[in-house]
Amino acid sequence: MPPIVLPTLQQNIMNNSYFQNKTAVVTGAGGTLCSAVAIELARLGAKVALLGRSADKLEPVAAAIRSASGTALTLSVDVTEAAAVETARRIITKELGPCALLINGAGGNQMDAVTTTTEFSPEEISGSKPDTVRGFFNLNPDRFLDVIRVNTLGTVIPCQVFGREMAQLGRGAILNFASMNSTRPLSRVPAYGMAKAGVVNFTQWLAAYLAPAGVRVNAVAPGFFLNDRSRKILMTEDGALSARGQNVMAHTPMKRFGEAQDLLGAVCWLLDDERAAFVTGITVAVDGGFLGSSGI
């Protein structure tokens, strides 16, 4: 058995500079979680390309990075359009260098793909159904497909475009955004849960496929984090918990919602080819214990 060699302090300091001058591409970079990820990667020395549909949401993130002497490039891109993502890749490669780190955070849900009820009621298929009731049988299939498209193809296409570049160079790390909904179906959001379950499966598949190319692929599964949309669902106007928020809290052992900063340790570890060199194909839950608790 070879002798055990412990890392020296100097080696630890060197590891902390792993992200220095690497090009990181963050999709959905205008969102609450991925904006924090982008800012953290820039703080660690990465050159960050911020991708999203709305330039208005990207610019404040870029400004925060630049104000701290970091490098940020903003690109308004629909990640479900392969040609647009390829155009973005060419610009990024020219301006910042080839992608070494890909964070697929683009996604989301649509209200027309969300039920207003948590279980079947005869009311939803009755001739006198109120307009305010939307059960499974009343969901718009087109909006259902929109949710699946943005969360799945919005992950697959960047993996194709930037993953190809990584494979050519023989290195890189991809991080996909799954959800606690990937493994535990939540009421009211069938399309979103279906899509996020697909992200976990795809992450495992792509990890095995790209291993010979030297590219690692993992995912994080955030629990209940507050943003503008979820705050309206989980909290009341006076700042108290809504009925759904109370239900969530009853199943969360840590008894709080996640904050963007809570995600950064897991994200940076999974992206780091030194600290996570032998880690690929996994999904790390960052959920305050939600998936481990039945609430009983």
CATH number at residue 266: 3.40.50.720
Dmax over Cα atoms in the chain, in whole Å? 76
Kindly state whether residues 180 and 245 are assigned to the same domain. Answer: no
Question: Domains in the chain: how many in total?
Answer: 2
Output the pLDDT for position 228. Answer: 76
In a domain, 118, yes or no: yes
Output the pLDDT for position 9. Answer: 38
pTM listed for this prediction: 0.92
| Residues 140, 112 contacting (CB under 8 angstroms) | yes
Token look-up 């193809």 returns 153
In a domain, 200, yes or no: yes
18 is an active site residue: no
Kindly state whether residues 248 and 263 are assigned to the same domain. Answer: no
Kindly state whether residues 169 and 156 are assigned to the same domain. Answer: yes
Rounded to the nearest 10 degrees, how much is the dihedral formed by the CA atoms of 219, 223, 227, 231? 160
Residue ranges making up the domain that contains 155: 19-223+259-288
In a domain, 9, yes or no: no
In a domain, 133, yes or no: yes
Kindly state whether residues 242 and 119 are assigned to the same domain. Answer: no
d(CA 225, CA 230): 8
Kindly state whether residues 153 and 238 are assigned to the same domain. Answer: no
The structure tokens listed for 7 are 């890392």
Output the pLDDT for position 231. Answer: 79
Q: How many CB atoms lie within 10 A of CB 209?
A: 14
| Residues 175, 127 contacting (CB under 8 angstroms) | no
Kindly state whether residues 117 and 175 are assigned to the same domain. Answer: yes
Kindly state whether residues 63 and 80 are assigned to the same domain. Answer: yes
d(CA 37, CA 286): 14
Which residue stretches of the chain have pLDDT < 50?
Answer: 5-15
Kindly state whether residues 158 and 240 are assigned to the same domain. Answer: no
Output the pLDDT for position 56. Answer: 95
The structure tokens listed for 290 are 């939600």
Output the pLDDT for position 3. Answer: 55
Annotated active-site residue in 144, 162, 192, 225 = 192
Kindly state whether residues 179 and 253 are assigned to the same domain. Answer: no
Output the pLDDT for position 17. Answer: 87
